[in-house]
Chains A and B, each alone.
Chain A
Amino acid sequence: MGRSHCKETAHRAGQDVGRSCILVSIGGKNVMLDCGMHMGFNDDRRFPDFSYITRNGRLTDFLDCVIISHFHLDHCGALPYFSEMVGYDGPIYMTHPTQAICPILLEDYRKIAVDKKGEANFFTSQMIKDCMKKVVAVHLHQTVQVDDELEIKAYYAGHVLGAAMFQIKVGSESVVYTGDYNMTPDRHLGAAWIDKCRPNLLITESTYATTIRDSKRCRERDFLKKVHETVERGGKVLIPVFALGRAQELCILLETFWERVNLKAPIYFSTGLTEKANHYYKLFITWTNQKIRKTFVQRNMFEFKHIKAFDRAFADNPGPMVVFATPGMLHAGQSLQIFRKWAGNEKNMVIMPGYCVQGTVGHKILSGQRKLEMEGRQVLEVKMQVEYMSFSAHADAKGIMQLVGQAEPESVLLVHGEAKKMEFLKQKIEQEFRVNCYMPANGETVTLPTSPSIPVGISLGLLKREMAQGLLPSAKKPRLLHGTLIMKDSSFQLVSSEQALKELGLAEHQLRFTCRVHLHDSRKEQETAARVYSHLKSVLKDHCVQHLPDGSVTVESILIQAAAHSEDPGTKVLLVSWTYQDEELGSYLTSLLKKGLPQAPS
């Protein structure tokens, strides 16, 4: 009977936070997890190398499905390229909010790349539309049957609206892929949750593998203090964000603060996506946290009073203001434009609320660079204050450990993190949970042997008989279940031996033994039989010993008859007869009787 294995190739997620694309082979099925693009590159390195998957075969033939965990471009950015330009026609699974928002972000990014930067060899609007036609939306906890053997199930992941973790299952083997997740509820999203599904492998992100973040409240207070101080001294605050995700979290934070402290400085949210984005949050309110869901009828948290739409001209207005602008890593678009305008004034401040990929302006200024080379050999001197505050909703080390504890996997695989930090986490996981932990590099393949048990059908008669007889198997003498496994085509049935014979139309062959035991006893046969009976009765207390009217003695189904010896009248012959199935008892009885009977008490 077969054994199988599951194989995992970290495609572009290994030890790097740039993008996610993982290939899992499980029980003969191939599933691609996420299809991200690298925001730090503007050339071919932006997209994963899909030729790696099949060498030269068709992707549709090779892949059984693609799963997208959430709408961030480092998880879905390469999807139209993959499906329309490389060519994939199979199903793509994602949650409803992801399906709604993903094409908008893709289109937004396409515009920046093609229309503004004039890049060629990029996907078109039509390709995004065609790609989205291949999407199948999934509900949380819905078991989606991809085909007869492969099923997937989504769990809530927090992180951003519609983010999900996915369980991929073939037979009794399973893999859980977390995507990005957050284990602590925040102002607008809930915490990730998974049941004790005991997967063979848990693939988890490890962006914040070593960080155990200080309390959220401290971070928020810090953030508000910095914004407040800058505004008080008449400075402008730029907060580069992605249109959906942290933006809403920070908006809710500032909105409530503005209301409490009664501040007058305007807050703007860069145009385009803003209103639309907030609309998505309103319509998909069931994906937000409990508090927002409960109160949305009275007050929808995503209808902001203090936050207004931004116009490009506002950037030059005098006086303090706070602007949320996209994109979040300052690599293009409006946030970069505003940054360039405000960078020269030390009164201003830019707050980076999330992780920045290497190569982006965001990453450069965060690593302390103050002179930036811009396009056209311009050098931009950064005088404004630069602050980094981790507001991205990733699980920290504690959260990752918590999730491993929830799911109870047989082994863990770390992706989407930096090698050094992952090493630390790997040790911790191996220590605490005593499971194997892997951290593959890009393009590296990890193979895990699994040994699934084999499900068969047991006839209810046999099972009930067994359960009735020995509900409490003692440790010393475990009871054995005996049956026959019938293997016909692909069906496996375990039945009692009698039933197996019957089902196959075979007759039972009875094997019987009769042994002659000679006893010195001059009394009559009946008396000998009576002595045998009382002797056995006293020895075999746990067995059913009977003296039948015809003079024979039975022990369970073993028959003992006493007969006269043909030659020696002082000897009696005991005929002990049993079937093969009672062999042990029969053999025991003959040896017992051979020793003779105790003297009859007379």
Chain B
Amino acid sequence: MKLYCLSGHPTLPCNVLKFKSTTIMLDCGLDMTSTLNFLPLPLVQSPRLSNLPGWSLKDGNAFLDKELKECSGHVFVDSVPEFCLPETELIDLSTVDVILISNYHCMMALPYITEHTGFTGTVYATEPTVQIGRLLMEELVNFIERVPKAQSASLWKNKDIQRLLPSPLKDAVEVSTWRRCYTMQEVNSALSKIQLVGYSQKIELFGAVQVTPLSSGYALGSSNWIIQSHYEKVSYVSGSSLLTTHPQHLTAAVDTVHQSLVELPSGLGFWSKLVVVVFLFLFYLIFCRIIGRKRCLLSLPSSSFSQPMDQASLKNSDVLVLTGLTQIPTANPDGMVGEFCSNLALTVRNGGNVLVPCYPSGVIYDLLECLYQYIDSAGLSNIPFYFISPVANSSLEFSQIFAEWLCHNKQTKVYLPEPPFPHAELIQTNKLRHYPSIHGDFSNDFRQPCVVFTGHPSLRFGDVVHFMELWGKSSLNTVIFTEPDFSYLEALAPYQPLAMKCIYCPIDTRLNFIQVSKLLKEVQPLHVVCPEQYTQPPPAQSHRMDLMIDCQPPAMSYRRAEVLALPFKRLFEKIEIMPELADSLVPMEIKPGISLATVSAVLHTKDNKHVLQPPPRPAPPTSGKKRKRASEDIPDCKVLKPLLSGSIPVEQFVQTLEKHGFSDVKVEDTAKGHIVLLQEAETLIQIEEDSTHIICDNDEMLRVRLRDLVLKFLQKF
């Protein structure tokens, strides 16, 4: 059993598992951080971007100035953006039998795999995953195709040249394998290979392996997978969430009080300190009251918008492959939502605009739900909210029809029947408006100040580029980053210098390390396998030993392009005994509670299923002549006789011999046992603890008689 690791990105995994006779790909995530090295694709001609100076080497050589542009000290490739694909050389991808998808973010590389590697298998995913995944792909293709760029830079990828470039271009990995975006045709073809599955559905692969998706609690239709045979079990955990609303604000408030205490001027005496403490404590209580109520309002609804994570089914795993943990382990999603709302309100009240770069599905539903609760109380009822994406309408519509994949609360709403997400009401009351792009209707309706949700979160393509150019120069405006996939500083780099305020409130509801250690304690896998990033603290916080996976035995880690041999040995396989054969078995009790039966049967194997059938009855002899011929045939040495066990009690054996007509039996003792002599027959039987040796003349009748007498005392296996 082996695991081929094709992606180095811990939240956008792509692994291939070889298990029994099957080859299973677990997710195919597409690493889009590579696009951060490219210049943004503006929807409207941007003089600023087109006038950026070309970059030249230190020695003044400017042969790259067509491909590379410089902006505020950073160098960008001026070309169609490209993505970093999973490894395609490590394993022959045409041998992959199935691809299991865990959530819509982890399927973005699918067209590259299914369309260009000779893949002929099946892809399994849940319906929401496929529908929303399709929207994400559609949006991506649309963003890139509607801004045709003539230039495709490749010179800089030359290894000798790349060495000379400044960071981060110098350190970019596998640039030769970077690829442009796929086409809609490839997307459709890839998606047509998907077979829809439901949670807890058992899917048989070639009769050898069973795979089952489990609810993972992270996004609509997101799943973890179990890959098991009758005796082995591998769990694949990817993008899961256990988030439930918890009173995080209390600890935050306690921290505030604590900090203020520490920071009190040392000149104050003890009593005055105490007074301050009491005062602070009272303040804290009131603060809790107010904030508590407010925070409750703003707590993250996503915690409970998809079905809760199914943990129980992960128990008894031999191996648990753990990927897709939170990318911001130190941030609390609830707190981030609160910050998001208050920054948004502040900016708008001051007459500024708010830009929220986002994906067209996922966190945006949470944000809209929070705003739905917050808008009126914050006095934002007159502020227009715009959601701009080629798939905005589809996304909003699709979110309402997956009742079965939602948490209990939302399901109950559907039963009423009401739409599960409140954005339906926001649209009805015209507070939220959606447009396919900034062109067309939007330009007529556009009012400022406003709040715009639009993609792409990398800030390299999509309508967001336009708003960055439009609003970047004014310090009244704010851009709020909520998606955790891209470093916001890198995302902003090509827009520098920037007057606009930047707020970073990444909302990542995936498991954090505390939850992981709880989960591992709960499900107790024999071995844990994870990306290497999870086995050490994040580089920026190397002292935080709590920000890594801690389990026993230590987790096995993998990195891109590595092959891991998974540490377990298969010992058993399931086989079925036909009822007719079972009826013919004669069990015998060897020890209390343990019975044995020798089985001689015909093995039939079909579609990886094994069945034991009764041996055929010997054909009745047809004629004497034929039978004679048969006995002269050279016997097939492959006919197996059972093994024997036990020992022969000499006295009883002698008695038995005498009963069967051997009159001249003599017994001699030897060092290890006895020798039984049959004088007349010139036969000698050596009997020891673990062996019996019959030495006789060539008299087959006699030998067979003696054999049968000996066998009476032994057990057959």
B is bound to A: yes
Neighbouring A residues of B417 by C-beta, 8 Å: 100, 276, 279-280, 283
B600 near A482: Cβ-Cβ < 8 Å? yes
Neighbouring B residues of A497 by C-beta, 8 Å: 598, 642-643, 717
CB of A113 within 8 Å of the partner chain: no
Q: Which residue of A lies closest to B203 (CB)?
A: A141
With contact pairs A581-B640, A591-B700 given, residues A480 and B646 touching in the complex (Cβ less than 8 Å): no
- For residues 459 through 501 of chain B, which have their beta carbon under 8 Å from a beta carbon of chain A? none
Q: What is the CA–CA distance of A236 and B197 in the complex, to the nearest angstrom? A: 47
Residue of A279, A285, A457, A480 with most chain B CB atoms under a 10 A cut-off? A480
Q: What is the CA–CA distance of A543 and B637 in the complex, to the nearest angstrom? A: 9
B691 near A473: Cβ-Cβ < 8 Å? no
With contact pairs A453-B578, A585-B637 given, residues A297 and B398 touching in the complex (Cβ less than 8 Å): yes
**Interface-side segment among B275-283, B514-522, B569-577:** B569-577
Neighbouring A residues of B696 by C-beta, 8 Å: 513-516
Which listed residue, B199, B643, B689, touches A581 by the CB 8 Å rule? B643
Q: What is the CA–CA distance of A304 and B403 in the complex, to the nearest angstrom? A: 23
**Interface-side segment among A84-92, A344-352, A459-467:** A459-467
CB of A433 within 8 Å of the partner chain: no
CB of A263 within 8 Å of the partner chain: no
Q: Which residue of B lies closest to A588 (CB)?
A: B635
CB of A485 within 8 Å of the partner chain: yes
Residue of B199, B393, B599, B648 with most chain A CB atoms under a 10 A cut-off? B599
Neighbouring B residues of A576 by C-beta, 8 Å: 698
With contact pairs A463-B573, A486-B594, A584-B637 given, residues A96 and B411 touching in the complex (Cβ less than 8 Å): yes
A143 near B600: Cβ-Cβ < 8 Å? no
**Interface-side segment among B162-170, B327-335, B537-545, B601-609:** B601-609
CB of A454 within 8 Å of the partner chain: yes
| Closest chain B CB from A555 CB (angstroms) | 9
Contact count band on B: 35 or more
- For residues 476 through 529 of chain A, which have their beta carbon under 8 Å from a beta carbon of chain B? 477-489, 493-494, 497-498, 500-501, 504, 506-518
- For residues 86 through 119 of chain A, which have their beta carbon under 8 Å from a beta carbon of chain B? 96, 99-100
The total of Cβ contacts below 8 Å across the A-B interface reads 267
Neighbouring B residues of A139 by C-beta, 8 Å: 198-201, 404
B714 near A514: Cβ-Cβ < 8 Å? no
Residue of B397, B601, B603 with most chain A CB atoms under a 10 A cut-off? B603
Which listed residue, A456, A481, A501, A587, touches B603 by the CB 8 Å rule? A481
B638 near A286: Cβ-Cβ < 8 Å? no
B585 near A1: Cβ-Cβ < 8 Å? yes
CB of B271 within 8 Å of the partner chain: no
Neighbouring A residues of B585 by C-beta, 8 Å: 1, 485
| Closest chain B CB from A176 CB (angstroms) | 16
Neighbouring B residues of A142 by C-beta, 8 Å: 198-201
B575 near A457: Cβ-Cβ < 8 Å? yes
CB of B422 within 8 Å of the partner chain: no
Neighbouring A residues of B397 by C-beta, 8 Å: 296-297
| Closest chain A CB from B617 CB (angstroms) | 11
CB of B208 within 8 Å of the partner chain: no
B200 near A1: Cβ-Cβ < 8 Å? no
| Closest chain A CB from B351 CB (angstroms) | 36
Neighbouring A residues of B398 by C-beta, 8 Å: 297
Q: What is the CA–CA distance of A580 and B717 in the complex, to the nearest angstrom? A: 13
Residue of A143, A455, A483 with most chain B CB atoms under a 10 A cut-off? A483
Q: What is the CA–CA distance of A63 and B414 in the complex, to the nearest angstrom? A: 30
CB of A3 within 8 Å of the partner chain: yes
Q: What is the CA–CA distance of A584 and B633 in the complex, to the nearest angstrom? A: 11
Residue of A455, A518, A580, A591 with most chain B CB atoms under a 10 A cut-off? A580
The contact string, 1 if C-beta is below 8 Å from chain A, for chain B 588-599, is 001101111111
| Closest chain B CB from A172 CB (angstroms) | 8
A487 near B645: Cβ-Cβ < 8 Å? no
CB of A452 within 8 Å of the partner chain: yes
With contact pairs A510-B644, A511-B710 given, residues A487 and B693 touching in the complex (Cβ less than 8 Å): no
CB of A303 within 8 Å of the partner chain: no
Q: What is the CA–CA distance of A26 and B593 in the complex, to the nearest angstrom? A: 28
Which listed residue, B599, B616, B636, B638, touches A483 by the CB 8 Å rule? B599
CB of A590 within 8 Å of the partner chain: yes
CB of A372 within 8 Å of the partner chain: no
Q: What is the CA–CA distance of A509 and B689 in the complex, to the nearest angstrom? A: 8
B575 near A458: Cβ-Cβ < 8 Å? yes
CB of B547 within 8 Å of the partner chain: no
CB of A556 within 8 Å of the partner chain: yes
Neighbouring B residues of A444 by C-beta, 8 Å: none
CB of B401 within 8 Å of the partner chain: yes
| Closest chain B CB from A506 CB (angstroms) | 5
Which listed residue, A280, A484, A489, touches B599 by the CB 8 Å rule? A484
B694 near A458: Cβ-Cβ < 8 Å? no
Q: What is the CA–CA distance of A421 and B66 in the complex, to the nearest angstrom? A: 82
Which listed residue, B634, B689, B690, B717, touches A484 by the CB 8 Å rule? B717
Which listed residue, A451, A481, A506, touches B579 by the CB 8 Å rule? A451
Neighbouring A residues of B643 by C-beta, 8 Å: 497-498, 501, 508, 581
With contact pairs A297-B397, A458-B610, A460-B572 given, residues A487 and B587 touching in the complex (Cβ less than 8 Å): yes
Q: What is the CA–CA distance of A591 and B632 in the complex, to the nearest angstrom? A: 9
Q: What is the CA–CA distance of A500 and B419 in the complex, to the nearest angstrom? A: 62
A456 near B577: Cβ-Cβ < 8 Å? yes
Which listed residue, A504, A511, A513, touches B714 by the CB 8 Å rule? A511
With contact pairs A481-B603, A515-B697 given, residues A580 and B641 touching in the complex (Cβ less than 8 Å): yes
| Closest chain B CB from A27 CB (angstroms) | 14
Q: What is the CA–CA distance of A493 and B591 in the complex, to the nearest angstrom? A: 16
Neighbouring A residues of B231 by C-beta, 8 Å: 457
B598 near A484: Cβ-Cβ < 8 Å? yes
B403 near A458: Cβ-Cβ < 8 Å? no
Q: Which residue of A lies closest to B645 (CB)?
A: A506
CB of A582 within 8 Å of the partner chain: yes
B601 near A480: Cβ-Cβ < 8 Å? yes
B579 near A511: Cβ-Cβ < 8 Å? no
Q: What is the CA–CA distance of A493 and B400 in the complex, to the nearest angstrom? A: 51
| Closest chain B CB from A305 CB (angstroms) | 19
- For residues 39 through 78 of chain A, which have their beta carbon under 8 Å from a beta carbon of chain B? none
Neighbouring B residues of A507 by C-beta, 8 Å: 645, 689-690
CB of A193 within 8 Å of the partner chain: no
Q: What is the CA–CA distance of A345 and B354 in the complex, to the nearest angstrom? A: 67
Q: Which residue of B lies closest to A505 (CB)?
A: B591
Q: Which residue of B lies closest to A144 (CB)?
A: B200
CB of B695 within 8 Å of the partner chain: yes
Neighbouring B residues of A391 by C-beta, 8 Å: none
Which listed residue, B197, B575, B692, B693, touches A494 by the CB 8 Å rule? B575
B691 near A141: Cβ-Cβ < 8 Å? no
A453 near B394: Cβ-Cβ < 8 Å? no
CB of B252 within 8 Å of the partner chain: no
CB of A291 within 8 Å of the partner chain: no
A284 near B602: Cβ-Cβ < 8 Å? no
Which listed residue, A455, A513, A543, touches B575 by the CB 8 Å rule? A455
A453 near B691: Cβ-Cβ < 8 Å? no
B572 near A457: Cβ-Cβ < 8 Å? yes
CB of B639 within 8 Å of the partner chain: yes
CB of A137 within 8 Å of the partner chain: yes
CB of B705 within 8 Å of the partner chain: no
A481 near B599: Cβ-Cβ < 8 Å? yes
| Closest chain B CB from A248 CB (angstroms) | 14
Which listed residue, A137, A283, A494, A513, touches B694 by the CB 8 Å rule? A513
A-B contact pairs, 5 of them (CB 8 A): A139-B199, A283-B419, A458-B610, A543-B634, A587-B700
Q: Which of A's residues lie within 8 Å of B, judged by CB?
A: 1, 3, 96, 99-100, 137, 139-144, 153, 276, 279-280, 282-286, 296-297, 451-460, 463, 466-467, 469-470, 473, 477-489, 493-494, 497-498, 500-501, 504, 506-518, 539-540, 542-543, 556, 576, 580-585, 587-588, 590-591, 594
Question: Ordered nearest first, which 3 A-B pairs have the shortest CB separation?
Answer: A497-B717, A584-B635, A497-B643
Q: Which of B's residues lie within 8 Å of A, judged by CB?
A: 127, 197-202, 212, 230-231, 393-394, 397-398, 400-404, 411, 414-415, 417, 419-420, 570-579, 582-583, 585, 587, 590-591, 593-603, 605, 610-612, 615-616, 634-648, 689-698, 700, 703, 707, 710-711, 714, 717
